[in-house]
Amino acid sequence: MARKATCPHCNQFIEIDDGFKKFQNRKYHLICYKLAMEEIYENNKKDIDPKQELYEYICKVYGTQEVSPMINSQIERYMTEYPTWKYSGILYTIRYLTEVEKTDIKNNPNIRGVGFLPYKYDLAKQHFLIVKSANDNLNEQLKNKTIKDFVIDKKIRLKPINYDNNDKDIIKIEDL
Ligand SMILES: [Zn+2]
């Protein structure tokens, strides 16, 4: 009697009634096949050139086919002026502003292109590191908090503000 195949995605046996789909000579549950393909797609996206990913995001925000010459020259200038900057960091900063701080960078009259980048780059990076260093359960909640929602305690561990807690030892991040 033939051994039951094990699905490489969930490591469970595939029962005869389950149905399966083959990929690279392995049998997958139908639902697992779908999930596995999505994962492969997500991983492929990570191979996208970071500059291309940044420019695609800017086009999406501005609803244009191409990045305007002004924004293009701003970005190139900043990349020269700030040697430690990365395109992925610029992308994160713009995403931080639009998705977390909910700033309408396209229509705000005080914003000229991406002129906010030198003021926001490090702030967005801090936010990224807080979210990244927090455990997975907290991650989803933290993603939507701005940097002002965090405090640093005496041991310089970042944690979300507990607004009910009047602990005097807590130092606000903007006081540092
Ligand atoms: Zn499976």
CA of 75 to the centre of ligand 1 (A): 45
- Which residue would you say has higher pLDDT here, 26 or 165? 26
CA of 1 to the centre of ligand 1 (A): 21
User: Would you state the pLDDT for residue 47?
Assistant: 67
Q: Which of 29, 47, 65 is the last residue of a domain?
A: 47
CA of 96 to the centre of ligand 1 (A): 36
- With cut-offs at 50, 70 and 90, classify the pLDDT of residue 143: confident
Torsion of CA 116, 118, 120, 122, to 10 degrees: 170
How much is the pTM? Answer: 0.58
Place of tokens 């229509």: 107
Q: Which domain holds residue 16?
A: 1-47
CA of 13 to the centre of ligand 1 (A): 8
Interstrand relation of 158-160 and 150-152 (parallel, antiparallel or unpaired): antiparallel
Shared domain check, 40 and 55: no
| Number of structural domains found in the chain | 2
- With cut-offs at 50, 70 and 90, classify the pLDDT of residue 61: very high
CA of 27 to the centre of ligand 1 (A): 9
With a cut of 90, say whether residue 1 has pLDDT above it. no
User: Would you state the pLDDT for residue 92?
Assistant: 92
- Per-residue pLDDT reduced to its tens digit, 65-86: 999 999 999 999 999 999 999 9
